[in-house]
Each structure stands twice: as structure tokens, then as C-alpha cells.
Amino acid sequence: MKVFVVGANGQIGKQIVSLLSKSDQHEVCAMVRSEEQASKYKDLGVEARVANLEGTVDRISEAMIGSDAVVFSAGSGGATGSDKTLLVDLDGAAKTIEAAEQAGVNRFIMVSAIQAHNRENWNESIKPYYVAKHYADKILVGSSLNYTIVRPGGLVNEPGRGKVTISENLERGYIPREDVANVIVAALGEEHTYRRSFDLTSGETSITEALKSF
Amino acid sequence: MKVFVVGANGQIGKQIVSLLSKSDQHEVCAMVRSEEQASKYKDLGVEARVANLEGTVDRISEAMIGSDAVVFSAGSGGATGSDKTLLVDLDGAAKTIEAAEQAGVNRFIMVSAIQAHNRENWNESIKPYYVAKHYADKILVGSSLNYTIVRPGGLVNEPGRGKVTISENLERGYIPREDVANVIVAALGEEHTYRRSFDLTSGETSITEALKSF
């Protein structure tokens, strides 16, 4: 599968690109915002295309041509305000979904946030972010795409442990970004995850097993 | 028709409540955020119920019971940041839609913004606001409700002229808030507007005629 990674310069995105570029099952195409970022990936032998989530659907769609799957791991991040949450995390995600439909790229994995589907459980301190993720996820569920929505708990930068808990509802928890990236790559071809959503934290089950049995 | 007005303390909302309270075809119930605001309306002989768009769907739904229609004219306004745009203009609108479905209130009129359906035409300076309105409108279109989405041009505080232009697409324009309120009240029972959306500006056609012929 050739996988188009949106947010390829982000903390999870970089790890996904790295895993895919080493994989013998998949190829990768990184979507980045600048020629400079593209050059860095090209120097590493990774295909990269320049497009912007604040640009047009047509441009994003064009960049996707030839890919078989999209991973959306972009996020405006904590350093910018809610303006960017609306423009990137919500509208940017919705535009990527429209672009995938337009380009005929049918497989789509969304990086969301734990309990984004349950308003009652939104973290009060980042509630506006949860609003954006909630509706982006809903738009994906309502699309024609073969989606998987991965809702990780609090992201930490420890090395991956390869052991996780996957369930439609988990109360709370943490997970290393490296394990999120591993789960996403493993989920790409795992039919049990097609058109489904799940919460994800560190746990005691191997990734392969957890993805098959939730 | 008994009409539940969300945002009844807003600039358009107040005019809608006033028109409905004088109408011999309709009754009104104003949704307000505080007991103090409710008392003010009650002193004027207007029914008012306290609920909050940042509260639960259940509470909003409960406040609607007995109404036949909802008008959503709430907005976080220019004085607050995009946090409130996400929490009120998007999530608050979506919760009101869910609440109406839950309460079995089938008729729903949304006050949106000119060209909210066309990303290409969003006013650059208030783009995050347009993102929120765009997706709130989409959620309404995807709901089971009998909706009308009214997308007025730039709002001004001049007295209403009673003459408007209504079309599925208008490039730009202005309109007095009083005329927006008049259009909404006239649209409540106008079948030609059921499950439809339109742009609205000042123009040369009477409101009744414009609502029947777009």
C-alpha cells in the first residue's frame, strides 16, 4: 500500500513516515508544507509533496494521486490558538477527507483523541480542541471512505513498548507516540479495523493481537 | 407555532422574540443563560427558560419541550476568541440540533452567514468563524429535522426595509438585523423554504414574495 501521510512533519507523523519507509509491505508519500521540508525528506530517500491544509481541496487531492491510503496525523498544536484549531484540525481534516474522496483514495486512518466521541469525557482544559476533533471524526464516519479512527490517550515521548490496550471506550491513559505510529501502520491492512473507531492507551497486549480483538 | 429562540438575548434574537410575541400566528419561548435575563423577559410577558449552549444536550432538550420550532440565532460574537467559536457557534449549534431531535421538535431555522457553504468565498478576516458556521450547517442538513438555513450578508443596525434578495448564491451584500428577523418569522411556516438554504441581503422584493420564489 502506498500511504500518503498528512502532518508528516509532526511528532507522530515523522515516526509514521520512518516506519513506512522501512516497511517491505508499504510505500510512503509525505505531505509537507514547504519545499524545504520536502527536500529534507527527499534527501532521506522519502517521496514528499508540498500541499497545505489551509489551501484548496483540489491541491490536496492532486498531491494524493497514486496513493492507496491516507493517514491524517496533522494538528495545529498547542502553540497556536483556536483559530488554527478551526482552520487545521477541523477544516483541514474535512478538506483531506474530501480530497481523498475526490482522488479515489479509499483507505483513511485518522489520528483523533481519546474519548473524542463522548462530550461528557472531554478534557476541560482543551475542550475547544476536542470540539474540532469530534466533528472531524463525524465527517469521516459520514464519508464514503474506509476509515479507521484511532483515539490515543495522552501522548508521551517515551520509547514504544509494543503493548497496548484497544477498546471502543477507555476511560483515560497515556501512550508513547512511537506506539501510536506502530498501531497506525499495523492497522492499515487489518480488516478488523475497517469502518471502526477505538480508544488506545499503553497496555499489556501486543499491537497485532489488540487490533484483531477489540 | 410555538417557537423556541436560542440566542434570545442576542441582537437578532431580541428582534425575533419581539416579533413573535406580537404575532397572532405564533407563540414564543426564549432560551436565555441566566435567571436575570429570564426575569426581564417574564416582566414583558414573554415565556423564558434558562439553559446554556455550553451545558448538556439533555438540559437544552428539556427546555424545548412543548415548542414546535427552534430558531438558532446564537453566536459567541466578536468580543470572545475562537475558543468560544468552537464551543458555542459549532458545538452549541450541534447540541441544539441533537436536542431538537431528542425533544421531537421538527422545524429548525438556523441563522448562518452569507456563503458559509462555499469555502472559496469566506471572508478572510473571519475565516475561523466561517469554519464553525459551515460545519454547523452541514450537521443540520444531515439531521432528520425540517430545516431552513438563512445566510444573511453583513449585518447592520439600520431599520428594516422589508425588501430583500433571496437566492441560493449571492456574492455579497448587507442587510439590517430587523429584516433578518422578519425573514425568519415569515419563513417558519413557508413550505417553499423547508429543507433548503439561502443567502439573504437587502434587495427590491417583498419578504413574502422572496421566500416563495427563490
Is 90 exceeded by the pLDDT of residue A79?
Answer: no
At B37-60, the pLDDT tens digits run 999 999 999 999 999 999 999 999
Contact B139 A135 (CB under 8 A): yes
- The confidence score (pLDDT) of residue B80 equals 87
Tell me if chain B has a CB within 8 Å of the CB of A155. Answer: no
Q: Using a CB-CB distance cutoff of 8 angstroms, which residues of chain A are in contact with residue B95?
A: 119
First to last CA, chain A: 24
Interface of A with B in 167-206 (CB under 8 A): none
- The confidence score (pLDDT) of residue A80 equals 87
Is 90 exceeded by the pLDDT of residue A77?
Answer: no
Best CA proximity match to B147, nearest among B102, B97, B214, B181: B97
At B77-106, the pLDDT tens digits run 888 889 999 999 999 999 999 999 999 999
B125 to chain A: nearest residue by CA?
A83
Which of B86, B91, B134 has its CB closest to that of A82?
B86
- The confidence score (pLDDT) of residue B16 equals 98
Q: Are B175 and B164 in contact (CB under 8 A)?
A: yes
Contact B82 A139 (CB under 8 A): no
Is 90 exceeded by the pLDDT of residue A109?
Answer: yes
Which of B81, B94, B134 has its CB closest to that of A81?
B81
Best CA proximity match to B199, nearest among B121, B115, B123: B115
The 3-state secondary structure of B43-67 reads HCCCEEEECCCCCCHHHHHHHHCCC
- The confidence score (pLDDT) of residue B2 equals 98
For the residues of chain A, what is the DSSP string, one character each? -EEEEETTTSHHHHHHHHHHHH-SS-EEEEEESSHHHHHHHHHTT-EEEE--TTS-HHHHHHHHTT-SEEEE-----TTS-HHHIIIIIIIIHHHHHHHHHHHT--EEEEE--TTTT-GGG--GGGHHHHHHHHHHHHHHHTSSSEEEEEEE-EEE-SPP-SEEEEES-----EEEHHHHHHHHHHHTT-GGGTTEEEEEEE-SEEHHHHHHH-
Tell me if chain B has a CB within 8 Å of the CB of A83. Answer: yes
pTM to 2 decimals?
A: 0.93
Please identify every stretch of chain B with a pLDDT value under 70, giving residue numbers as ranges. none
**What percent of chain A is predicted at pLDDT more than 70?**
100
Kindly report the nearest CA distance between residue A69 and chain B, in angstroms: 25
CATH architecture of structural domain A2-213: 3-Layer(aba) Sandwich (3.40)
- The confidence score (pLDDT) of residue A142 equals 95
Kindly report the nearest CA distance between residue A56 and chain B, in angstroms: 8
Domain residues of chain A, as ranges? 2-213
Global ipTM: 0.89
Which of A87, A134, A142 has its CB closest to that of B131?
A87
